[in-house]
């Protein structure tokens, strides 16, 4: 069976975490790129806020390059491939990250998750952890689009709309997972 890197992309609140949780329930390990930001914030003793998160994200990319998150997660992905045929990554943001992974992991698929702005913003405001204000959701959308997240949609192998129920979203994820794993068998 050929190893596969499955990359989840989408604007904040689109459903990447829900997709990651679903994949984990299917025994597929998930590497969350945002963990790097969380760890940097803890190291700097910064409280969670969109302003602090953005400060860390932009600072890391400015200092180390647009592919820093892919670079820092690659060793964890390689480690997980020792015992897994599929590994998922939650949170790709730039083309540089995509091409970094493509060099290291020849077999990869991207799943772009999209959702209507009103649903995404509602989800972000309603999060138990890391909730965001309306102003922050608009700022975050603007930043995500500026760094090139929407360009990645053109490179995606799969596109899924998350505008219905969680159950319907998970059913679509299951169909995609089945189509991905069929050729691996």
**C-alpha dihedral (136, 139, 142, 147), degrees to nearest 10:** -90
pLDDT score for 45:
93
Q: Where are the alpha helices (DSSP H) in 26-133?
A: 34-43, 50-64, 68-81, 95-104, 117-126
pLDDT score for 157:
95
pLDDT score for 47:
86
pLDDT score for 184:
54
- pLDDT average per 10 residues of sequence, the chain (185 residues): 91 90 96 94 87 88 95 97 96 92 94 87 74 75 76 92 92 92 64
Instruction: Please compute, for residue 98, the number of CA atoms within 13 A of its CA located in the half-sphere on the CB side.
Output: 21
pTM equals 0.88
Which residues neighbour 151 within 8 Å (Cβ) at sequence distance 6 or greater?
95
pLDDT score for 36:
95
Q: How far is residue 84's CA from residue 161's CA, in Å, rounded to a whole number?
A: 28
């Amino acid at each position: 069976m050929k190893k596969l890197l499955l990359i989840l992309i989408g604007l904040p609140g689109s459903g990447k975490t829900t997709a990651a949780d679903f994949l984990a329930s299917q025994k597929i390990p998930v590497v969350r790129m945002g963990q790097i930001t969380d760890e940097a914030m803890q190291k700097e003793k910064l409280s969670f806020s969109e302003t602090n998160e953005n400060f860390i994200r932009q600072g890391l990319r400015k200092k180390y390059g647009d592919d820093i998150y892919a670079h820092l997660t690659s060793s964890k992905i390689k480690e997980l491939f020792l015992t897994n045929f599929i590994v998922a990554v939650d949170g790709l943001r730039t083309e540089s990250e995509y091409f970094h992974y493509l060099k290291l992991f020849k077999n990869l698929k991207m799943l772009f998750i999209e959702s209507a702005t009103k649903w995404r913003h509602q989800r972000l405001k309603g999060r138990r952890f890391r909730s965001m204000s309306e102003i922050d959701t608009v700022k975050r959308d603007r930043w995500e689009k500026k760094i090139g997240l929407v360009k990645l949609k053109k490179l995606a192998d799969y596109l899924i709309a998350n505008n219905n129920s969680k159950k319907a979203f998970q059913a679509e994820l299951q169909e995609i997972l089945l189509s991905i794993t069929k050729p691996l068998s």
